[in-house]
Structure 1
Amino acid sequence: MSAANSNASNNVGNNVGNSATRRPRTWPALVLIVLTVVAAIAAIWRVDTAPRTDDAYAYADTIGVSPEVSGKIVKLAVHDNQAVKQGDLLFEIDPRPYQYALLRAKASLAQLDAQIPLTQRSVDAQTFGATAARSAVTRAQAAANQASDTLARMEPLLGKGYVSADDLERARTAQRSALAELAAAEAQARQAQAAVSSVDALVAQRSVLQAEISSAQLNLEYATVRAPFDGRVVELRTSVGQYVSAQKPVFTLIDTRHWYVIANFRENELGQIHPGTRATVYLMSDTGLRFSGTVDSIGYGVDPQDGSGTANGLPSIQRSINWVHVAQRFPVKILVDRPDPRLFRIGTSAVAVLRVHEHAAVAASGAQS
């Protein structure tokens, strides 16, 4: 009996001991759950305060370097992927046709300048002739008036016998002759006046030649193509001797004065992103370097890709999951403060983290002030 009691007491003790050893094993699970919740809260808080995306790439503005005049390249001063400074010589087009055009225009102007004084002398002579013709008209007019007055006085005297019929006929003849001379003088005066020219047309032609000289000088300057800004030459696929046409790019020049990171953020994150928001970016080519930047602008349109056609000219951002609704992404343009020219290349993959809390703090301090 005592042995049975002893066994029973031992069994009870063992069960109590086993339950005591099993109870502490629930704590790791509870701790794991708590840590998971804390991590989830921290992740949500971080997303809300520092939106982040690895759907980003480096970007810079580019131009196609096109000559303003056509011709054969006689000097190519750059090579592919070369860095250039503003004002550096890029290439030179054969300047001889434009030099000849300039010389021809200058020679035409010199010839015209010599012709204008000669023409002016002729105009002066014509003017003097017209003046003399007008004086002749005045004399003929006076003679005709005198002959008419004489005839008018003699006609009443014929009946009284003071003048003869012959005298009256000579007076009429003199009047007719004076009127004829007057008509001839007036015709000569009109002819002389019509012959008077001017140098106005030549002066106007001189202005045209001056404009041609200016155009020729400009074309001669255009034959030398220089870098409009600090940049880097890319897509250079030509050499000396190549004929290039005006307005057609010879190569591309990257504007390295400003580098950007184009970061595509989900549409539900745009509400807390504003121009001026500070950002931290780094490139996948060297993840150890961090660069600061500022949001320059936020995209206001992308290609919706809903099957109803494309929005021409809008950036296209792919959606990777077709059977669920995926938040659209919009490009956010971030201006990098101090880019490393060795690392930044157009299209380099990047990661962008926006420090929206800094923008909010600055805005709040500005509102309080």
Structure 2
Amino acid sequence: MNEQAAAADPDGAASAALSASTPVGDSPAPHRPGLPPSGARSMRFLADRGPRLRSVLGRLLFVAVAVATLILGYRLAANLTLSPRTTDAEIDADIVRVSAPVAGRLMELAVAENQSVAAGELLFRIDPETYRLQLELAQAELAVAEGSLADQRRLRESERANAVVAQDEVSRAQTNLDLATRSLERLQPMEAAGYVSRQTLDEARTAVSDAAVSLRQALGAAAAARNEVQTTLALEAQVRANQTLVAIARRALEQTEVLAPVAGKVVGLKIAEGENLVPGATLFTLIDSASWVANGLFPETVLAGIQVGDSADVFVMIDQRVRIAGTVDGIGWGVVSDDEIAAFGGLPYVARTLNWVQVAARFPVRIRLHAPPEPLMRIGASAVVILHAQQRAD
């Protein structure tokens, strides 16, 4: 019966014979059907050395992963040092709060919400009639003041001429007095010799007295004439005041037309024509389209490597595929802490907690954007900022 089994399975018989001739402690690896003896020996080698080989390979793999982790960490730290980045950033721009410079009824509204306007473009117009009338009134008052000044100047010239005449009278009276005095002085020595009568001498003395009286009268008249010459200082000041009122009225009339101070976008518009406007009250906001920036918050630990002029890449969340170039325009000099915000009554605020981990403060870094795409520029839009500390903008 065994012979029949051997005849039916010659390989099995050979295996049985090999097993019978091999010691028990040195059993060969099972021979797989279809493998030559050399293949069986290879399988036996792998079976004997497999655990040790796997241990060595595992150690090598661990060392390789550790080295790769260290290299990656070093490169990441170097990259964060040379190219600090933040995801806590937003788009911002300068804004102009547009208000009515003068009071009045809104007669024409030339813009709409979200409209783009150019610098110098008409925004709205206030009813100018009241201010036109005020300008005409100021101009009329100026004309009256100028007329009064002209009349006063003509009168002053006449008074000056009278003063000149009065002064001439003084000169004439003084000459007559001098002549009468010299005549008297010549006649007095001749009286003792009998060459001049007493009557002639008395007449000479009377002439001197009359000349002195005439001189005193001429001096008084000249002084009065000089005092009557009026100055025009008051009227000149009145003219200047009226000129100022005219300029103010003209300025108010010009301000009834409000023009865009900068090119930008109109936002927050909630008024309509016919509304009565109050000076200084904000009507809407104008976003300056030439002042787009990104404000990113960076920890204080990286501020030492950031300088004004560093180049930057900005990615706006609206479309992160678009890279916007920028330049560091400024680094914030101060922030307000929670303790200062919570201060009450002038007393310091001390939280009843212990901070086991010191958290680095963050400071805003302002990045000026260069030619940003208009569809992505919206105040408050989230952004990612990457700085390049080794690249300074020219």
2:99–2:280 CA contact under 8 A, matched in 1: yes
Give yes or no for the alignment of 1:94 onto 2:127: yes
Q: 1:43 to 1:75 in 2, by over 3 A?
A: farther
Residue ranges of structure 2 left out of the alignment (5+ in a row)? 1-18, 31-42, 344-353
How far apart, in 1, do the equivalents of 2:377 and 2:70 lie?
A: 35
Q: 1:306 to 1:199 in 2, by over 3 A?
A: closer
The letter for the 2-side match of 1:194 is: N
1:204-219, aligned counterparts within 5 Å? 204-219=237-252
Question: Per-residue displacement from partner, 1:20-43 (whole Å, max 9, x unpaired)?
Answer: 343454446753663464255335
- 1:59 is displaced (CA, Å) by 1.2
- CA drift of 1:80 comes to 3.0
Q: Secondary structure at the match of 1:250?
A: strand
Residue number among 177, 180, 187 corresponding to 2:220 in the alignment: 187
When normalised by structure 1's length, the TM-score is: 0.79
Separation of aligned partners in 2, 1:52 and 1:35 = 27
Unaligned segments of structure 1, at least 5 residues? 311-320, 364-369
Aligned to 2:14: none
Q: How does 1:81-230 map to 2 (within 5 A)?
A: 81-199=114-232, 201-230=234-263
1:22 corresponds to which residue? 51
Residues 271 and 127 of structure 1, relative CA distance in 2, 3 Å threshold: closer
Partner of 2:334: 301
- Paired residue type of 1:137: V
How far apart, CA to CA, are the structure 2 residues paired with 1:82 and 1:216? 32
Q: CA offset at residue 55 of structure 1?
A: 1.2
8 Å contact 2:145–2:242 — kept in the other structure?
no
SS at match of 1:119: helix
Q: 2:311 aligns with which of 278, 282, 285?
A: 278
In the alignment, the residues of structure 2 paired with residue 297 and residue 12 of structure 1 have an alpha-carbon distance, to the nearest angstrom, of 77
Measure the CA separation in 2 of the matches of 1:123 and 1:15: 138
Structure 1 residues 259 and 33, CA, compared in 2 at 3 Å: closer, same or farther? farther
Give, in whole Å, the separation in 2 of the partners of 1:343 and 1:51.
23
Secondary structure of 1:171's aligned partner:
helix
What's the Cα RMSD here?
3.5
Equivalence for 1:56 = 89
Give the distance between the partners of 1:20 and 1:273, measured in 2 at CA. 57
Q: Residues 32 and 55 of structure 1: is their aligned pair in 2 closer, same or farther, counting only changes over 3 Å?
A: farther
1:41 aligns with 2:74: no
Contact 2:123 2:260 in 1 (8 A): yes
| CA–CA separation in structure 2 for the residues paired with 1:273 and 1:348 | 23
Amino acid of the residue matched to residue 249 of structure 1? T
Bigger drift between 91-100 and 21-30 goes to 21-30
Structure 1 96/308 Cα, relative in aligned 2: closer, same or farther at 3 Å?
closer
For 1:318, the equivalent position in structure 2 comes to none
The structural deviation recorded for 1:306 is 5.8
The alpha-carbon deviation at position 7 of structure 1 amounts to: 4.2
Letter of the 2:223 partner, please give it. Answer: R
* CA positional deviation for 1:63: 2.5
Equivalent runs, 1:309-324 vs 2, <5 Å? 323-324=356-357
Secondary structure of the structure 2 residue equivalent to 1:288: coil
Larger-gyration structure (1/2): 2
Distance across 2 between alignment mates of 1:69 and 1:99: 13
Deviation at 1:139, TM superposition (A): 2.1
Residues 259 and 43 of structure 1: CA distance in aligned 2, closer, same or farther (over 3 Å): farther
Question: Structure 1 CA distance, aligned partners of 2:337 and 2:67?
Answer: 36
- CA distance in structure 1 between the aligned counterparts of 2:386 and 2:203, rounded to whole angstroms: 121
Shift of the 102–124 alpha-carbon distance from structure 1 to 2, 3 Å rule, reads same
Partner of 1:76: 109
Alpha carbons of 1:19 and 1:304: their partners in 2 closer, same or farther (altered >3 Å)?
farther
SS at match of 1:285: coil
Task: Look up the SS of the partner of 1:345 in the other structure.
Answer: coil
Q: Which string of whole-angstrom CA distances, capped at 9 and with x for unpartnered residues, describes residues 217-240 of structure 1?
A: 233222222111111122334333
Query: 2:294 pairs with 238, 261, 273, which one?
Result: 261
State the percentage of identical aligned residues. 35
Task: Name the count of aligned residue pairs.
Answer: 350
Instruction: Give the superposition deviation at 1:165.
Output: 4.2
Distance verdict in 2 for CA 1:190–1:348, change over 3 Å: same
